[in-house]
């Protein structure tokens, strides 16, 4: 059974703290790894789509790395702000198919 | 910025009733999807749709489910005879191309089956 796991499940940090979380996935037949940010009552919003081993992408204070050989991706947030509070979802596109297989998400709460 | 819109935002129905969830994908997108999240569980894939036909479906997407793109703008998910376990947040998504493209999600329809 193809399984995507995220850790931790939830995280509480103070404003200004930097934080990171992990997405683990089977390394065989890898196609792409997606990161989405999902704020309560809003649509999940794409952050990154990563395809190459060693990929590193950055969007403002948020960055992500990818290791397809060992099957993990890290998402980093530098200097967390209250508006970063959201659930961060990773999803694996596995094989030559359009469907995404999601992890359970990491819920980040940033306290002012 | 263009967005995917879904209606209604909430739908309450009785078990056994038919429901239609509606979505308007981004206009120049070619690939359309339905996902759902049952409370406390992972977001799970239901179906993908391209060129007016289903390109892939999950085991969940049985004969009770169907999708349609009736008029070139709307994309609908029909559940013919709802069950209690169909209660979930249903998300529509679209992408311009399939390969390595991010998905644009709607804000979801919360379906409650009583």
State pLDDT tens for residues A64-74. Answer: 999 999 999 99
Chain B residues within an 8 Å CB radius of A100: 35, 45, 103
The 8-class DSSP code of residue B98 comes to: S
Mutate: best of A42, A46, A48, A98, partner B, most B CBs <10 A: A98
Interface of B with A (CB under 8 A): 3-4, 31, 33, 35, 41-45, 48, 50, 55-56, 58, 91, 95, 98, 100-108
* pLDDT score, position A95: 64
pLDDT tens string A22-41: 999 988 777 899 999 999 88
Out of B43, B100, B104, whose CB is closest to A49?
Answer: B100
| Chain segment B20-65, per-residue pLDDT in tens | 999 999 998 999 999 999 999 999 999 999 989 999 999 999 999 9
Is residue A97 pLDDT above 90, yes or no? no
- How far CA B106 is from CA of A48, A109, A112, B3, B94, in Å, comes to 18, 23, 29, 7, 9
Give CA separation, B66 vs B49, B53, B79, in Å: 11, 11, 7
CA angle A100, A106, A110 (to 5 degrees): 140
Residue A26: the pLDDT is 87
Name every chain B residue with its beta carbon within 8 A of the beta carbon of A104.
41-42
Query: Is pLDDT of B11 > 90?
Result: yes
Nearest to A104 among B42, B55, B103 (CB): B42
SS3 category, B27: coil
Q: What is the 3-state secondary structure (H, E, C) of chain A?
A: CCCCEEECCEEEEECCCCEEEEEECCCCCEEEEEEEEECCCCCCEEEEEECCCCCEEEECCEEEEEECCCCEEEEEECCCCHHHCEEEEEEEEECCCCCEEECCCEEEEEEC
Q: Cβ of A98 and B50 within 8 Å?
A: yes
Q: What is the mean pLDDT of residues B77-100?
A: 92
pLDDT on residue A1: 67
Average of pLDDT values for A81-106?
90
Q: Looking at chain B, which residue has its C-alpha nearest residue A47?
A: B102
A42: closest chain B residue by CA: B107
Which residues partner with B42 through β-bridges?
Answer: none
| Closest residue on chain A to B101 (Cα) | A49
A-B contacts (CB, under 8 Å)? 57
Contact B106, B90 (CB under 8 A): no
Take residue A68 and report the two structure tokens written for it: 């397809």
CA distance A79 to A101: 29
Residue B94 forms beta bridges with which residues?
Answer: B32, B104
Can you tell me the distance from the alpha carbon of B33 to that of B77, in angstroms, rounded to the nearest whole number? Answer: 10
Contact list in B for residue A89 (CB cut-off 8 A) is 43
For residue A40, the chain B residue with the least C-alpha distance is B107
Distance between CA A75 and CA A14 in Å, rounded? 17
Q: How far is CA B77 from the centre of its chain?
A: 5
């Amino acid at each position: 059974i193809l399984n995507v796991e995220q850790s931790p499940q939830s995280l509480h940090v103070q404003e200004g703290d930097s934080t990171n979380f992990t997405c683990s996935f089977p390394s065989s037949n890898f196609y792409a790894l997606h990161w989405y940010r999902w704020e309560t009552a809003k649509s999940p919003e794409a952050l990154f789509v990563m395809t190459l081993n060693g990929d590193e992408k950055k969007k403002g204070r948020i960055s992500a790395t990818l290791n397809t050989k060992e099957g993990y991706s890290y998402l980093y947030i530098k200097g967390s702000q209250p508006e970063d509070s959201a659930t961060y979802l990773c999803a694996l596109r596995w094989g030559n198919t359009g469907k995404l297989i999601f992890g359970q998400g990491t819920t980040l709460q940033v306290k002012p | 910025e263009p967005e995917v819109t879904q209606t209604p935002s909430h739908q309450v129905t009785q078990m056994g009733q038919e429901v239609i969830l509606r979505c308007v994908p981004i206009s120049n997108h070619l690939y359309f999807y339905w996902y759902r999240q049952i409370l406390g569980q992972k977001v799970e894939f239901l179906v993908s749709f391209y060129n007016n036909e289903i390109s892939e479906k999950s085991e969940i997407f049985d004969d009770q489910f169907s999708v349609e793109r009736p008029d070139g703008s709307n994309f609908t998910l029909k559940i013919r005879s709802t069950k209690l376990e169909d209660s979930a947040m249903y998300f529509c998504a679209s992408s311009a191309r399939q390969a390595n493209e991010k998905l644009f999600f709607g804000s979801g329809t919360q379906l409650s089956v009583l």
